[in-house]
């Protein structure tokens, strides 16, 4: 019988039974105690090590439950047979992996993806969170409806009807953690045997996601009314992804006639769908918001996708689908199994935020703020020499600018970079190989009004005075969007 | 030229420009103003309606932006040509759709999916949420890392190493909103050209999700050590989904030898993987927790999936994957595009919960609470006559019971239902057609100790005294899990 050579440490952080268990496990793993070997009985082990019998028992129990030893009735404990063991002994190679943070080398960033967080309703959100995280709200901590909570879906349904002309029963609404997730979920309902037509220039991220989900994607160009329906027809696509209320990034508002043509295209063939991405239609500074395409859809062909990323904050991770009748059935068959991806407390907070009128007030406040920023930027740009065209104004949170000279987007970006300003090329949004006119995108949501003022002033001087040659000299790595242009001291 | 017949209401809720816009839109939609018709100039319209010229201008602007009219330079405004319009005029059919709530007809529910919410750390959570939702934490409201925040991944990495023996760099961890979502994401990395072997009886939900994601699934039976590796080999599967630390629902702990066999099976062929679902290994009442399979994996074959659903609350919607090296590369290629599905504020709260030791304290508290509930139920059941076997004890939050007589699961469920108690059949978890011994699952996490005491007492009388004939009489719809047995007055 195997002899145990172990001195226990009564003062250590490990309990006695753990020390015995680890010693024996180690001996077994190293082959010091061979397979089939009988171990001392718990009574003998206890005596030998001068511990209580229950301590010995606990050590054996642990070895038993992990499968190192087995207990044979009336015979005792034996080491199990096992194949050569992999070794786990070495400490984990927890190398000091550090967070990679992108350092922003720019003084001003005209990102089209920003939002104004200075005016996020932190206090209201804290108040709602305090209210929701109460012991008497226990039901919120159980798993909820896969579609999302009914009360939130109802609040969204009312909002969508009033603000966007969307006809949606709460039962048609599916809440999910972001558009990417909802595209994923949608792919389960639609299947991937479809060809999806996307507007170009368009929303590259959605295009990438569809491709990664296994869809064949094609691009359809736009005229000034939006997606070209004849080209769509020829493309062989059966799903059209459009942003009719405010196309991203071109800012086109699709007029009624084109909408009708698009709906007719969808109605002409079984299985065709239009995905209407209505990502930022809340922000329109002239006139009333443009009603949704979904509201004119009598043939149940429109899948509407909305989000609170622009209207509240992208970190909230709450988006929603409004499904037409046919897909709602498919959802019940294949989609319902997927648990909702948004926590119930977050859903409840958003529901209260909407029901109590905070959302409406927030939207009105943000619309006014964004309008001021929009007006400031527009007024500045109108003073710029050499500008050919400004478009995409009046709604959303970005403008597009074309210069009259021959500079490329990369040259203009480099010029701006020289004075510490980051601007964005339209080419990033071009999903095909066609040539597009040099266009720069200027997002203004995340900047303060005075920053817009200063940054636009710098931009005017830079673009107005700089030349293509200057730009080339300082353009270190033209294709690298992260390229760091040193503006210090300028 | 078209003559406008409109009387404006200066007192109404609608502004003058809106009234003009709506009147004209309506006239165009009804065909009262034909296509191509010229509208009065803004000056004429203003005079005619006695409004300011800017009001007339705004009405036209709205019609222009929605595409009802067009402006021809130096000529004026003309009604656009458009195909016959669908009508949106009718009020939305917002029928009074009501929330369907499942009414629980049972006094006591031994659900194996419950958790104890009486002891959820509401106050701590509120405190953390107050701290996180501050204006100076603005960066939390931007979109974060697609993998989840680095600091949270680091906290999880440390926890996993200490508590589960999992070797995971933060970079290997992907945070997502629930296991269903992570299975979806995983399917993007793995592709669906795989055959997945699942344990039976096993976790039906994961099985369903894989099927809905397009995987071919097969089942592999278990002996008392867990999944049968020979059968796995024969099944032709290349992915094995297992719960080695505490199999659900059978409660089997896979011993070292079987783990080695499983790892060797995976290592034998390129492209094979083991998915280790470690859903509730935090709760073990005898001895130390069983280390993870991932910790013994030297061949980068184990995909580890963990969750906070059991250890904190399912409504939190935070789970995580630990990816082996090969799949991490695939993630960078195809998975990184998908934005993280968990809000950054929730991630931050969980990070602080872990870093500050709240999580450890919470786990210890819950382990002690669940152990008491476990002991209470076990003590009660041991008094029951006619019991053949109790198993799956010592860890997790449910037990399994087999009776010595010939009653079916449905009969036992009906008997229990008669006294207001809901219990669960093992057959729900059987993923193949094989015959399994009649077994009832009793979950105890969601019940109070005194409730367990009372409910177990009732169950003992019901099962001990009731007969199959009694049960049959009251068994209304045996296949309907929601069948309502009236227990009132009993």
Per-residue tokens: B20: 């003009």
Number of Cβ pairs < 8 A linking chain A and chain B: 269
Residue B83 has pLDDT above 70, yes or no: no
Instruction: Report chain B residues whose CB lies below 8 A from the CB of A261.
Output: 83
Contact criterion met (CB below 8 Å) for B446 and A141: no
Look at A213 and B143 and tell me if their CB atoms are within 8 Å. no
B254 vs A212: CB contact, 8 Å cut-off? Answer: no
Which of B255, B267, B309 is the best mutation test for A, with the most CBs of A within 10 A? Answer: B255
Mean pLDDT, 10 residues at a time, chain A of 490 residues: 76 84 85 84 88 89 84 88 51 52 78 89 91 79 88 95 91 96 95 96 94 94 95 97 94 92 95 94 81 92 95 91 95 92 94 94 91 94 91 90 93 94 95 92 95 94 62 40 32
What count of other Cβ atoms lies within 10 Å of the Cβ of residue B241? 26
Structure tokens at A156: 């969204």
Q: In the beta sheet, which residues pair with residue A176?
A: A319
Name the residue of chain B whose CA is nearest to A225's CA: B67
- B360 and B144 Cβ atoms separated by less than 8 Å: no
**Which residues are registered as beta bridge partners of B88?**
none
Please tell me which of the candidates B66, B142, B288 has its beta carbon nearest to residue A255.
B66
pLDDT of residue B23: 87
Partner-chain contact A135 B122, CB within 8 Å? yes
CB A345 within 8 A of CB B318: no
Q: What gap in Å lies between CA B418 and CA B439, rounded to an integer?
A: 19
Domain B16-104 has CATH 1.10.10.10: yes
Confidence at residue A340, expressed as pLDDT on a 0 to 100 scale: 94
> How far is the C-alpha of A24 from the C-alpha of A18, rounded, in Å?
10
Closest-CA distance of chain A to residue B177, Å:
5
Buried residues in B289-301 as b, exposed as e (16+ CB within 10 A) = bbbbbbbbbeeeb
Q: Cα(B40)–Cα(A474) distance, rounded to whole angstroms?
A: 55
What residues does A76 pair with on adjacent strands?
A72
* Residues of chain B contacting residue A165, judged by C-beta atoms under 8 Å apart: 88
Q: Do B342 and A255 touch (CB under 8 A)?
A: no
Distance CA A229, CA A232 (A): 5
Does residue B97 carry a pLDDT above 70? Answer: no
What residue has token string 């007969």?
Answer: B467
Please give the mean pLDDT across all residues of chain B.
Answer: 86
Cβ <8 Å between B314 and A141: yes
Is 60 exceeded by the pLDDT of residue B466? no
Helices A53-65 and A42-49, interaxial angle, to 10°?
120
CATH architecture of the domain with range B123-359: 3-Layer(aba) Sandwich (3.40)
CB contact under 8 A, B317 and A342: yes
**C-beta separation of A422 from A431 below 8 A:** no
DSSP, collapsed to helix, strand or coil, labels residue B286 as: coil
Tokens 């909002």 locate to A159
Report CA-CA distances (Å) from A142 to A146, A260, A342, A344, B308: 12, 45, 12, 8, 13
Q: HEC string of A189-244?
A: HHCCCCEEEEEECCCHHHHHHHHHCCCEEEEEEEECCEECHHHHHHHCCCEEEECC
Q: What is the dihedral of CA B9, B14, B18, B20, to 10 degrees?
A: -10
Cis before A249 (ω within 30): yes
3-state secondary structure of B227: strand
Give the tokens for residue B73: 């330079």
Q: Which residues of A touch B35 (CB under 8 A)?
A: none
Contacts with B87 from chain A: Cβ below 8 Å: 298
CB B363 within 8 A of CB B119: no
A63 or B351, greater pLDDT: B351
Contact B342 A134 (CB under 8 A): no
What is the pLDDT averaged over residues B468-486?
Answer: 38
Residue B445 is predicted with a pLDDT of 94
Length of chain B: 490
Three-state DSSP at B443 gives: strand
Q: Do A181 and B181 touch (CB under 8 A)?
A: yes
Locus of tokens 């740009």? A381
Question: Chain B: nearest CA to A366, how far in angstroms?
Answer: 16
Closest Cα in chain A to B253: A65
DSSP state of B135: G
Compare CB distances from B65 to A143, A170, A290 and report the shortest one's residue: A290
- Ranking A10-14, B22-26, B317-321 by mean pLDDT, the lowest is A10-14
pLDDT band per the 50, 70, 90 thresholds, residue B475: very low
Confidence of residue B144 (pLDDT cuts 50, 70, 90): confident
Q: Which residue of A has its CA nearest to B334?
A: A212
Domain boundaries, chain B: 16-104, 123-359, 362-483
DSSP conformation letters of A373-438 = HHHHHHHHHTT-TTEEEEES-SBTTEEEEEESS---HHHHHHHHHHTTEE-EEGGGG--SS-----
CB contact (8 A) between residue B337 and residue A169: no
> What's the confidence (pLDDT) of residue A227?
97
**Computed over its alpha carbons, how large is the radius of gyration of chain A?**
32
ipTM: 0.80
Test B129 with A134 for CB contact under 8 angstroms.
no
HSE-CB for A322 with a 13 A CA cutoff: 31
Residue contact A345–B315, C-beta within 8 A: yes
Q: CA-nearest residue of chain A to B70?
A: A255
Q: Which two tokens stand for residue A98?
A: 């550090």
Contact B86, A263 (CB under 8 A): yes
Sort out which chain B residues have CB atoms less than 8 A from A286's CB and list them: 58, 61, 65
| pLDDT for the residue A207 | 96
Cβ(A176)–Cβ(A147) under 8 Å? Answer: no
State the helix-helix crossing angle for A16-29 and A53-65, rounded to 10 degrees: 40
Question: What is the structure's pLDDT at B237?
Answer: 97
In this predicted structure, what is the pLDDT of residue B478?
A: 37
> What's the whole-model pTM score?
0.82
Distance (Å) from the C-alpha of residue B239 to the closest C-alpha of chain A? 21
Six-digit token string for A354: 């909407």
Can you say how many angstroms the Cα of residue B297 is from the centroid of all Cα atoms in its chain? 28
Q: Token digits for A360?
A: 């409406």
Looking at residue A288, what is its pLDDT? Answer: 76
Question: Scanning every residue of chain B, which has its alpha carbon at the shortest distance from the alpha carbon of A262?
Answer: B83
Please give the share of chain B, as a percent, with pLDDT higher than 90: 56
Question: Exposure of B184 by Cβ count < 10 A (0-12 exposed, 13-18 middle, 19+ buried)?
Answer: buried
Q: Is B144 in Cβ contact with A287 (below 8 Å)?
A: no
CA torsion angle for A34, A35, A37, A40 (degrees, to 10)? 90
Q: Which of A129, A296, A309 lies nearest to residue B133, judging by beta carbons?
A: A129
C-alpha–C-alpha distance, residues A400 and A425, integer Å: 9
CB spacing of A317 vs B126 below 8 angstroms? no
Segment (H or E) for B305: strand B302-307
Q: What are phi and psi of B230, to 5 degrees?
A: -65, -45
Which one of B141, B167, B260 has the shortest CB-CB distance to A85? B260
Contact B83 A264 (CB under 8 A): yes
What pLDDT does A465 receive? 61
Q: How far apart are CA B475 and CA B481, in angstroms?
A: 11
Query: Which fold is adopted by the domain A362-483?
Result: 3.90.1150
Contact state of B93 with A287 under an 8 Å Cβ cutoff: no
Rounded Cα distance between B13 and B365, Å, is 59
Using CA atoms, how far apart are residues B239 and B192, in angstroms rounded to an integer? 11
Chain A: nearest CA to B476, how far in angstroms?
26
pLDDT confidence of residue B274: 98
Euclidean distance between CA atoms A466 and A488, whole angstroms:
18
Quote the minimal CA–CA distance from B235 to chain A in Å: 23
How do beta strands B398-403 and B387-391 pair? Answer: antiparallel
Chain B residues within 8 A of A25 when measuring between CB atoms: none
């Amino acid at each position: 019988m195997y002899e145990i050579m172990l001195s226990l440490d009564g003062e250590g952080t490990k309990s006695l039974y753990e020390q015995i268990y680890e010693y024996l496990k180690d001996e077994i793993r190293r082959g010091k105690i061979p397979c089939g070997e009988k171990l001392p009985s718990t009574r003998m082990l206890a005596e030998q090590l001068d511990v209580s019998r229950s301590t010995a028992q606990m050590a054996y129990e642990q070895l038993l439950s992990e499968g190192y030893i087995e207990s044979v009735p009336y015979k005792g404990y034996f080491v199990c047979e096992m194949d050569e063991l992999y070794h786990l002994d070495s400490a984990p190679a927890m190398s000091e992996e550090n967070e990679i943070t992108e350092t922003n080398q720019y003084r001003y960033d005209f990102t089209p993806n920003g939002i104004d967080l200075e005016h996020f309703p932190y206090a209201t959100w804290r108040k709602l969170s305090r209210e929701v995280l109460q012991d008497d709200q226990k039901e919120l901590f159980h798993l909820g409806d896969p579609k999302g909570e009914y009360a939130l879906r109802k609040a969204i349904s009312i909002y969508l009807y009033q603000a966007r002309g969307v006809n949606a029963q709460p039962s048609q609404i599916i809440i999910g953690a972001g558009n990417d997730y909802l595209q994923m979920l949608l792919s389960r309902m639609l299947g991937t045997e479809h060809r999806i037509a996307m507007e170009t220039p368009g929303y590259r991220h959605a295009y990438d996601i569809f491709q990664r989900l296994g869809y064949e994607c094609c691009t359809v160009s736009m005229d000034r009314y939006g997606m070209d329906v004849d080209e769509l027809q020829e493309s062989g696509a059966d799903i059209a992804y459009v942003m009719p209320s405010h196309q991203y990034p071109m800012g086109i508002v699709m007029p009624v006639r084109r909408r009708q043509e698009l709906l007719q295209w969808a109605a002409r063939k079984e299985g065709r769908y239009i995905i209407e991405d209505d990502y930022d239609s809340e922000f329109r500074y002239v006139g009333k918001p443009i009603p949704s395409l979904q509201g004119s859809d009598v043939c149940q062909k429109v899948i509407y996708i909305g989000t609170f990323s622009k209207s509240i904050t992208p970190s909230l991770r709450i988006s929603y689908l409004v499904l037409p009748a046919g897909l709602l059935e498919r959802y019940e068959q294949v989609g319902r199994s997927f648990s909702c991806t948004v926590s119930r407390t977050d859903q409840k907070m958003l529901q209260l935020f909407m029901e109590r009128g905070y959302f409406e007030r927030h939207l009105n406040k943000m619309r006014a703020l964004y309008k001021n920023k929009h007006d400031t930027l527009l007024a500045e740009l109108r003073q710029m020499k050499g500008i050919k065209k400004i478009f995409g104004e009046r709604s959303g949170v970005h403008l597009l600018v074309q210069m009259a000279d021959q500079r490329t987007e990369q040259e203009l970006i480099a010029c701006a970079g020289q004075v510490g300003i980051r601007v964005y090329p339209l080419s990033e949004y071009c999903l095909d190989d066609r040539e597009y006119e040099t266009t720069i995108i200027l997002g203004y949501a995340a900047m303060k009004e005075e920053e817009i003022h200063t940054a636009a002033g710098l931009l005017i001087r830079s673009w107005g005075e700089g030349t293509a040659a200057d730009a080339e000299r300082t353009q270190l790595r033209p294709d690298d969007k992260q390229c760091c242009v040193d503006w210090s001291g300028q």
